[in-house]
Amino acid sequence: MPQYTPMMQQYLSIKSAYKDAFLFFRLGDFYEMFFDDATRAAQILEIALTSRDGGGKERVPMCGVPHHAAKGYIKRFIDQGYKVAICEQVEDPKQAKGVVKREVTHVISPGMVMDETILSEKEHNFLAALAHDDEQYSLALCDLTTGTIHTTCVQDFERALEELKVARVKEVIVSAQMMDLMREQSWTVSVAQTIDNAAELPFAFENKACLPALLLLTQYLQITQQRSLDHLQQPRFYEPDEYLTIDSNGRRTLELVETMRDKTKKGSLLWLLDETKTAMGGRRLKEWLDKPLRSKQGIQDRLDAVSTLIEGFTSRHDIREKMTAVYDIERLAGRISYGNANARDLVQVKKTVSTLPGIQRAVSELGLPLASLLAEQVTALEELEKLLANSLLEEPPLTITEGDMIADGYSDVLDRYRDAGRNGKEWIAALEKRERDETQIRTLKVGFNRVFGYYIEVSRSNLKNLPEGRYERKQTLANAERFITDELKEKERLILEAQEKSVDLEHQLFLELRQRAQQFIPALQELSRLISELDVLASFAEVSERSGYVRPQFSPTGELSIVDGRHPVVEKMTMHQHYVANSVTLDNTTSMLLITGPNMSGKSTYMRQVALIAIMAQIGCFVPAKEATLPLFDQVFTRIGAADDLAAGQSTFMVEMMETNDAIQKATASSLLLLDEIGRGTSTYDGMALAQSILEYIHNHIGAKTLFSTHYHELTQLELTLDALQNVHVAAVEDQDTIVFLHKVEPGPSDRSYGIHVAKLAGLPDGITKQATALLQQLEQTKGQAAPTAEVGATQTVAEQLSLFGEANTASKAAKKTPAPSKAEATFASELASLDLMDMTPLEAMNWLYRMKKKVQ
């Protein structure tokens, strides 16, 4: 470092403490970056890379962005998962002796964003801390913009990752010892170098199990933010088992918050239910969707409120109309505490608080329990509303250093400064009129600019009419001369001094006002909680009434009975036209449905709608059905759709097996399983054997409510051996050489797959479908014999389908014709007979089949 200039040494010294961030080093009106930061930033931000002399042998790479435009560039860094350390001048350059003192004032990262232009208003921005001790993992999730903190403990690392995925965290803080575990994760990962386990938390919290994560979180925030964090709320501890568990795969396939294809909100359950009027309500709705309740009382309380809001249409309409005037006071409270709230933010707080009495009256008319709680906040915030109403102008500027924020009458001193400024401007206008009259120069004017101050301007053509010695020349222009007088100089000094003092005093008064507003932050946060819950419940009522949803009932015996259920999103996307409703009944005698039918007939939609109805019920919303009686599910597992995980080197079939295994290992009798065409990713024999094995295992060992769709029609014979399994099919009819999907689920198995008909609908060439039809007919005629040959144009043989459920006498006759088994065959048969299928997982069964196949080969 000695080889570099003092300024560059200062930069390198500060940068050494923020190696994982781009350092925005303030130089005048620019934030500059140097060395590797500059080289990388120039590529990421697509800005020019230059260089400067830094005192060393070679020029130092450099790039920079204007101070006033920094937000846009910071957003680009954050969107790509990078961190930015803001280094400001903390010393007046005029008073500096040598290099101006600079310090990092705060760090901006994906999990520590406070700028509303970067944030999504209806989505939490969670920063997470993950810690591990000998027994468990502790997690702390914090939205710095609102001060919200959630914390929990789990036993294994995979469950901890799942909690982070459910919360959609933007950044994870870990200790250096845990960094290796997090390298393969997609989040921005930050390392806390030191943790003081003896430090005190900035709030009261008694759950010692979560203390490691909370200490990690709060100490990291204190180091990186360098300012007051008084808005951090009391952490709320939750047990994951208090809520309906839906893993990240289930959330994706059920499209709870975004669609699988486009990753957009439109087309998801969140899109359907989100009629909220406030940003706080939008975030609360997402929280409820992330964690549906398992407490029957908690669900009933929400359903009671939705019922009341549906019945009270007029009051509900009044509440929702007034909600449009409610600003995001949860994040505004955070900005007030954080110290970056401006005058417009405080005006928004005032406007929100002023709407409270009207909302509270409407809630009281409905008799909702929220009414009394809202009344308390009306009283608690009356003083704040009065303070802000008396102190601030209605339309202040965005900045707090230009004045025009504070209302007249709030400060006597400020009023005197303003009076001097206003009277001075009136004096200037009077001076202009007087000079025009005395000089008879009608174009004479008194003007002002920031460089020369006040001046008297006379055009060149009128200079001859100007009395000699009347003015003192100040500036010469092409077409005019500018003058000054001693009287104007004195008045200029008084006016500018009053304006300067007025702006400085307004800034000081505003800082004091913002400081006074901080004492109301707890009340504002409690108000935001009440408003957000009311907003979501009113949204549920609005959607439920408009779409004809019904209140669900909950069965104490675990029965599931849905009469004319609908898929809520598909119904809305089709504008309620021609939607075919379907019923489903699962009880203690029939807990499994085996669903057959052609592709495109609606099997997956039928399965998904059962899960969505259950989830909607457990978040406290009415459901799309004529009647619905449901159990309280503990978990929902889905295996719908297939995709390769190329990054992990996993095929479609492997992903399918892993997801199925996860469901089988974790499911209980109180779970809901949706399994779509298990086994289709491998050969017919393997797939069918696995599908049967999985069905039998769920039936005999788990007993979960299960919807299992398949194209293996042989599996429908399981209804004869599995007491709790019932066959249903999605009806379709042939119309000449095409197929009509009825989308109606009916009892019994499907007789055909209609695969060739679906291929025709997909537009395959006639030559292919005609040949396939001929091959199919020949296969059906020669079932059990040799495969068809090239008589129908085929050049390859087609293997016959395996029948797992042949009659016993047929098998006996075949055995008589079969030669005595070889030694290898006898060994194979002996090993097969010794298998205990009921104790094998699907993955173990697949591995055994794989080994046998290798031996045969």
Residue 204 DSSP label: -
Which secondary-structure segment (H or E) carries 6? Answer: helix 6-15
Is 390 known to sit in a ligand binding site? no
Q: Of 220, 240, 194, 198, which Cα lies nearest the Cα of 142?
A: 220
Beta strands 592-596; 627-630: pairing state: unpaired
**Closest Cα to residue 756, out of 748, 766, 746, 742?**
766
The answer to whether 458 and 452 are in contact (CB under 8 A) is: no
Each residue of 573-583: b (16+ CB within 10 Å) or e?
A: eeeeeebbbbe
* CA 437 to each of CA 81, 252, 465: distance values in angstroms, whole numbers, following the listed order: 68, 80, 12
479 known ligand binder: no
- The number of angstroms, rounded, from the C-alpha of 673 to the middle of its chain's C-alpha atoms is 26
Cα–Cα distance list, 149 to 46, 144, 203 (Å): 37, 9, 11
The set of residues, in sequence order, having a beta carbon less than 8 Å from that of 251 and lying 6+ positions away, is 166, 257
Cβ atoms of 60 and 3 closer than 8 Å: no
The secondary element (H helix, E strand) that includes residue 510 is helix 486-517
Distance CA 3, CA 11 (A): 13
CB 656 within 8 A of CB 338: no
- 280 marked as part of a ligand binding site: no
**217 vs 141: CA distance, rounded Å:** 8
- Measured distance CA(149)–CA(139) in Å, rounded: 10
Closest CA relative to residue 491, chosen from 424, 419, 420: 424
Mutual angle of helices 329-338 and 279-290, in 10-degree steps: 100
User: Which among 611, 613, 620 is positioned nearest to 639, based on CA atoms?
Assistant: 611
CA distances from 343 to 163, 389, 398, 702 (A): 38, 12, 7, 60
Residue 8, annotated ligand binder? Answer: no
Residue 857: strand, helix, or coil:
coil
Question: 256: buried, middle or exposed (CB in 10 Å: 19+, 13-18, 0-12)?
Answer: buried
The answer to whether 60 and 54 have CB atoms below 8 angstroms apart is: yes
What single letter denotes the amino acid at residue 731?
Answer: A
465 assigned to a ligand binding site: no
Nearest of 280, 349, 378 to residue 516 by alpha carbon: 349
Q: State the Cα–Cα distance between residues 564 and 581, nearest whole angstrom.
A: 5
Q: Kindly state the DSSP code that residue 235 receives in the 8-state scheme.
A: P
Phi, psi of 716 (to 5 degrees): -65, -20
DSSP for 70-134, written as a single string? HHHHHHHHHHTT--EEEEEE-S-GGG-SSSPPEEEEEEE-TTS---TTTS-TTS--EEEEEEE-S
Widest CA span in the chain:
137
Q: Is 260 annotated as a binding residue?
A: no
Q: How is the beta sheet containing 560-565 ordered, strand by strand?
A: 553-554, 627-630, 560-565, 582-586
Tokens of 56: 């060393």
Closest CA to 656 of 682, 619, 629: 682
Backbone angles phi, psi at 497, to 5 degrees: -65, -40
Residue 281 known to bind ligand: no
List phi, psi (to 5°) of 320: -65, -35
Beta sheet of 738-747, edge-to-edge order: 245-246, 635-639, 672-676, 705-709, 592-596, 725-735, 738-747
- Helix residue ranges per DSSP H, 518-550: 521-547
Spatial separation of the C-alpha atoms in residues 669 and 678, rounded to whole Å: 20
Q: Which two tokens stand for residue 324?
A: 């449009």
Specify binding-site residues for ATP: 597-604
Specify binding-site residues: 597-604
